[in-house]
Amino acid sequence: MNPTDRPYVLHGFDVSYFTAKARVAMRYKQLYMEERRANLRMIIDKTGLAFIPIVTTPTDEVWQDTSEILDNLEARHPNPPLYPRTPLQGLVCALIELFSDEICLTAAMHTRWGTAESEAMTRRRFGAMTGSIEQGNRAADQMVKARYGVGATPEAAPAIDEHIADLLAALSAHFEEHDFLLGERTSLADCALMGPVYAHFYTDLVSRRLLLETAVPVVRWIEYCNMPGADAQGDWPADDAIPDTLLRVLQVMGRDGVPMLLALAQAIEAWADENAKIGETPPRAIGTVTADLLGTPITRGCQVYSLWMLQRVLDPYRALSDADRTCVDAALAGTGWEELLAYVPRHRLEKRGFDLVFASPE
C-alpha cells in the first residue's frame, strides 16, 4: 500500500463515467482511500464546477478532471506504474484515453438513455441513488437532454449499435488472450476505458445483459480492473511491443473516432482564429459539429476541452525522436489514427486552476 497519514477521498457515484476511471487508478495504486457519495453543492463550492468526481488529498488539495487526477497520482505514487515510459505503449494509452473520454461518451449515453427500457431502469436507479424519485427524475431529465448533445439521437442509434458491437467483439477477442489492454498489467488505458464500459455498459441493466450475452471476456476484464491486485499482476510487453489483438481494438477506435475528433479540433481552431486571446478562458461550448459514423452523420456539441485532450496525444508524439516516431508510425499503420497524429494545431490550451485558458503556441 502507498501509505499516507490521511486518506485520499474520491467523491463520485457508481454510475458516474469518470468516477470509474479514477477509482480503478486509486485501487490499483493501493492508496489509503475512501469513496464518498458526491455532494454537488460542496463540489461547486470547491471548484466552481458541477463536475464529478473530485479527489481531496491527504493535504486538503482538491483535484478535478480525471486526466489530471491520474497524472497527479502517477507523479506522487509512481509504483505500481500506470503510465508506460516507452514511446509506443505510452502513446497507445493516450489514444485510448482520448477515445474513451471524448468519443465513447456517445455510445454510453445511447445505451443508458436510448431505449424506453433502459431509460425507465435508469430513472429508478437515479431515484434510489438520490433517495428521492422526484430528485432522481430531475437529474434524469437533464441527462436525457444531454444525450442529444453528444450525438446519441434516435436516427444515429443503428450506427452506434454497430459501433458498440464491433468494439465489444474486438475487446472480447483481445481479453480472451490478455488480462488488460496492454497485456498483463493495468495501465492508464484500462482506467480510461472503464469509464464507459463499467459505469455505463455494465452498471446499466439493459447494456449489462448485452455484455453478459455477447462479451463475457470483457466482463472478466471489468472484474480484474475493479479488484486489481497489483502485486499479483504480470508486466507490459517487453521491447515496447503491444499485443497483436490490441491492433483490432485500435482499428475500431480509430475508424469510428478519428472523424469526429478531427471535426472537433478543426471547429475549435476555426473559432479560435477569430476569438482566442492569450490568457483568456474560452466558453466551454462553441456550437455543434457533424462527422460520419459508419455512414451515418453524427452531430454533437463542440466542447473546447476536446482540444486540450488532443494535446495529451500530440504533445508526446511530437516530442519523440525521429527514430522513435518512425517506429510508432509503423506499429500504428492501418489503425486509422494516422490522420489525427499528423494534425498540427494552430492554438494551444493550458490549465489555470480549474479553468482552461489559451496559451502561446509552442
Residues 6+ apart with CB under 8 A from 222: 194, 197, 198, 202
Last residue of a domain, which of 27, 55, 76? 76
Q: Which residue has the higher pLDDT, 257 or 123?
A: 257
Same domain, 244 and 219: yes
- Distance, CA of 42 to CA of 176 (rounded, Å): 43
pLDDT digits (tens, 9 = 90+) for 140-165: 888 888 899 999 999 999 999 999 99
Q: 1 pLDDT exceeds 70? A: no
Percentage of the residues of the chain whose pLDDT score is greater than 70:
99
Q: 240 pLDDT exceeds 70? A: yes
pLDDT at 298: 97
The partner residues of 288 in beta bridges, in order of sequence, read: 301
Name the band, by pLDDT with cuts 50, 70 and 90, for residue 125. confident
Last residue of a domain, which of 49, 76, 103? 76
Same domain, 72 and 142: no
Residue from 119, 124, 117, 111 nearest 150 by CA: 111
- Distance, CA of 69 to CA of 73 (rounded, Å): 6
Same domain, 145 and 259: yes
Q: 358 pLDDT exceeds 90? A: yes
Same domain, 96 and 190: yes
Residues 125 and 158: beta-carbon distance below 8 Å: no
Query: For the chain, what is the largest distance between any 2 Cα atoms, rounded to a whole number of angstroms?
Result: 59
Same domain, 297 and 235: yes
- In this structure, what C-alpha cell is assigned to residue 31? 492508496
- Distance, CA of 222 to CA of 203 (rounded, Å): 11
pLDDT digits (tens, 9 = 90+) for 266-301: 999 999 999 999 999 999 999 999 999 999 999 999
Average pLDDT over residues 34-63: 92
Same domain, 344 and 234: yes
The answer to whether residue 82 sits within a structural domain is no
Q: Phi and psi (nearest 5°) for 188?
A: -50, -35
Residue from 183, 179, 182 nearest 228 by CA: 179
Same domain, 104 and 53: no
Same domain, 139 and 248: yes
The answer to whether residue 81 sits within a structural domain is no
pLDDT at 146: 87
First vs last C-alpha separation in the chain:
39
Same domain, 256 and 295: yes
Number of structural domains, the chain? 2
pLDDT at 362: 67
pLDDT digits (tens, 9 = 90+) for 188-226: 999 999 999 999 999 998 999 999 999 999 999 999 999
Query: Which residue range(s) make up the domain with 58?
Result: 8-76
- In this structure, what C-alpha cell is assigned to residue 315? 504533445
The answer to whether residue 1 sits within a structural domain is no
CA atoms within 13 A on the CB side of 110: 23
Average pLDDT over residues 318-324: 98
What are the helix (H) ranges across the chain? 17-28, 40-47, 66-76, 87-98, 104-113, 116-130, 133-149, 157-175, 188-194, 205-214, 216-226, 244-275, 305-319, 322-332, 338-341
CATH label of the domain that carries residue 70: 3.40.30.10
Same domain, 206 and 239: yes
Query: What are the CA-CA distances from residue 1 to residues 73, 123, 190 (Å)?
Result: 13, 38, 20
Q: Phi and psi (nearest 5°) for 68?
A: -75, -35
Three-class DSSP category at 48: coil
Q: Mean pLDDT across the chain, nearest whole number?
A: 95
Name the band, by pLDDT with cuts 50, 70 and 90, for residue 131. confident
Percentage of the residues of the chain whose pLDDT score is greater than 90:
85
This prediction's pTM: 0.96
Q: 3 pLDDT exceeds 80? A: no
Same domain, 348 and 274: yes
pLDDT at 203: 93
Same domain, 152 and 275: yes
- Give me the DSSP letters along 245-280: HHHHHHHHHHHHHHHHHHHHHHHHHHHHHHH--TTP
Last residue of a domain, which of 76, 104, 135? 76
Residues 253 and 103: beta-carbon distance below 8 Å: yes
Three-class DSSP category at 20: helix
Average pLDDT over residues 96-113: 96
